[in-house]
């Protein structure tokens, strides 16, 4: 979000405020706005419950809240549901459950991170056991490992397409299409003219909107980004990230992709402003949860240290890596190139 606000979303810097959960849990009052509970898949159970209690207080005060720290589906739950519904042709398995895949090849990844596969494609059950032993030897805990069946969505030319689309408060916004010859697609490695034209059509026409809406509703997620492919006309969902990379100037890739990026940025801005709270500013009381004061007092040195780092301008990398939620208020946009007021 910070990178987006420093680039394509610069004129929204006065309207969107990232708020760290660690700070949220010690708030007694919160300003009115639309609240997005992001990164819910990486909240620990106790923190998820705390965040859910605050979400309830905000909702009771009449504020709009997106995502539910307890009810929004995580990756494993969603992918199992999509396979059960006959949408995804592949299934996933938790290593700790001792359930093994029905078909191969497979790959291993961490259940609730977004770094991609820990392995290449694993062809057999015996090779899977070997890969698990190797990960255990390097200190990887089975508790958070996920086995995913490989689903080949490549074209007859051997090209993989990774589509990404955002959900922002009930509106599906196409993000991009990446093309590659490799099955694990993190960045676009193919930029042929016909591919660039196809990506532009994707941004302009939003062809999978209805299918995506149904999947987001199933997942009970109001804000996030879905990464998927298409196989025989059916979406194959890889993951749904509630704290996604949005856009920055760095992801243009080539000058030829610029028109699609400009169109996507305009659609994203419109979606964010459509959910911003336009009411006069006010404050909402948040009940202090049991044990919060004691935990804050115990961590007082940390809070003082972080305050000092903020004061000296050194606390930026840590904040961008922390789990956050977002608050949106309708304000006069900052003109492009201008410095937002603090």
More confident residue, 328 or 221: 221
* Higher-pLDDT residue of 116, 73: 73
- DSSP category for residue 183: S
Q: Kindly report the backbone phi and psi dihedral angles of residue 239, in degrees, each rounded to the nearest multiple of 5, phi listed first.
A: -165, 165
Which of the pair, 161 or 317, is modelled with greater confidence? 161
> Pairing state of beta strands 92-94 and 145-149?
antiparallel
Examine the domain organization and report whether 33 and 67 are in the same domain: yes
The 10s digit of each residue's pLDDT in 100-149 is 998 999 999 999 887 789 999 999 999 999 999 999 999 888 888 999 99
Assign 81 to helix, strand or coil: helix
Say if 104 falls within a structural domain. Answer: yes
Longest dimension (CA), the chain: 63
Flag whether 212 is in a domain.
no
Helix (H) or strand (E) holding 162: strand 160-168
Residue pair 146/108 in contact (Cβ under 8 Å)? The answer is yes
Do 16 and 64 have their domain in common?
Answer: yes
Tokens, residue 115: 């770094």
**Domain enclosing residue 121, as ranges:** 91-149
Euclidean distance between CA atoms 176 and 248, whole angstroms: 13
The alpha carbon dihedral of 267, 242, 227, 8 has a sign of positive
Same domain, 103 and 142: yes
Tell me the C-alpha distance between 184 and 196, whole Å. 20
Q: What does the mean pLDDT of the chain come to?
A: 87
Q: What's 122's domain CATH number? A: 3.30.1490
Say if residue 8 is in the same domain as residue 61: yes
Q: Which segment of 26-30, 155-159, 251-255 scores lowest on mean pLDDT?
A: 251-255
Tell whether the model's pLDDT for residue 295 goes beyond 70. no
pLDDT at residue 321 above 50?
Answer: no
pLDDT on residue 308: 62
* Count of domains forming the chain: 2
Final residue before a domain boundary, out of 149, 174, 195: 149
37, pLDDT greater than 60? yes
Which of 149, 169, 193 represents a domain boundary (last residue)? Answer: 149
Query: What is the distance, to the nearest Å, from the Cα of residue 170 to the centroid of all Cα atoms in its chain?
Result: 16
In a domain, 213, yes or no: no
CA dihedral sign of residues 216, 330, 262, 319: negative
Same domain, 119 and 59: no
Does the residue 62 lie in any domain?
yes
What is the pLDDT confidence band of residue 251, given thresholds at 50, 70 and 90?
confident
205 within some domain? no
Residue 297 lies in a domain: yes
C-alpha–C-alpha distance, residues 158 and 138, integer Å: 34
142, part of any domain: yes
When pLDDT is averaged across residues 173-199 and rounded to a whole number, the result is 93
Is residue 165 included in any domain, yes or no?
A: no
Residue 304 has pLDDT above 80, yes or no: no
Cross-strand partners of 277: 329
What does the pLDDT read at residue 252? 79
pLDDT at 332 over 60: no
Q: Give the full edge-to-edge strand order of the sheet including 34-37.
A: 16-20, 324-328, 34-37, 65-66
Q: Cis peptide before 105, with omega less than 30 degrees from 0?
A: yes
**Domain final position from 128, 149, 170:** 149
Closest by CA position to 245, among listed 309, 162, 170: 162
């Amino acid at each position: 979000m910070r990178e987006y606000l420093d680039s394509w979303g610069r004129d929204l810097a006065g309207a969107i405020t990232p708020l760290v959960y660690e700070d949220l849990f010690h708030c007694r009052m919160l300003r009115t706005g639309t609240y997005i509970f992001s990164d819910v898949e990486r909240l620990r159970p106790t923190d998820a419950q705390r965040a859910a209690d605050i979400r309830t207080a905000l909702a009771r005060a009449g504020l709009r809240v997106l995502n539910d720290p307890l009810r929004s589906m995580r990756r494993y739950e969603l992918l199992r549901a999509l396979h059960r519904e006959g949408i995804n042709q592949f299934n996933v398995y938790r290593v700790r459950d001792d359930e093994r895949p029905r078909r191969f090849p497979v790959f291993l990844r961490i259940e609730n991170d977004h770094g991609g596969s820990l392995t290449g494609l694993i062809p057999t059950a015996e090779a899977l056991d070997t890969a698990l032993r190797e990960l255990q030897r390097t200190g990887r805990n089975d508790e958070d490992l996920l086995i995913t069946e490989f689903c080949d969505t490549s074209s007859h030319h051997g090209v993989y397409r990774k589509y990404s689309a955002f959900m922002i408060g009930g509106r599906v916004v196409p993000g991009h299409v990446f093309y590659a010859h490799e099955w694990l697609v993190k960045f676009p490695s193919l930029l042929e003219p016909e591919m660039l034209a196809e990506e532009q059509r994707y941004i302009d026409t939003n062809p999978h909107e209805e299918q995506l809406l149904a999947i987001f509703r199933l997942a009970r997620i109001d804000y996030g980004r879905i990464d998927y492919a298409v196989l025989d006309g059916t979406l194959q969902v890889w993951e749904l990230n509630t704290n996604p990379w949005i856009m920055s100037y760095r992801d243009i890739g080539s000058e030829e992709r610029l028109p699609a990026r400009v169109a996507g940025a305009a659609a994203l801005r419109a979606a964010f402003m459509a959910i911003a709270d336009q009411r006069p500013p006010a404050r909402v009381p948040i009940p202090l949860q049991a044990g919060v004061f004691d935990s804050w007092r115990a961590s007082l040195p940390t809070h003082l240290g972080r305050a000092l780092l903020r004061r000296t301008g050194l606390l930026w990398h840590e904040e961008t890596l922390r789990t956050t939620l977002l608050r949106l208020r309708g304000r006069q946009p900052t003109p492009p190139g201008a410095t937002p007021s603090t």
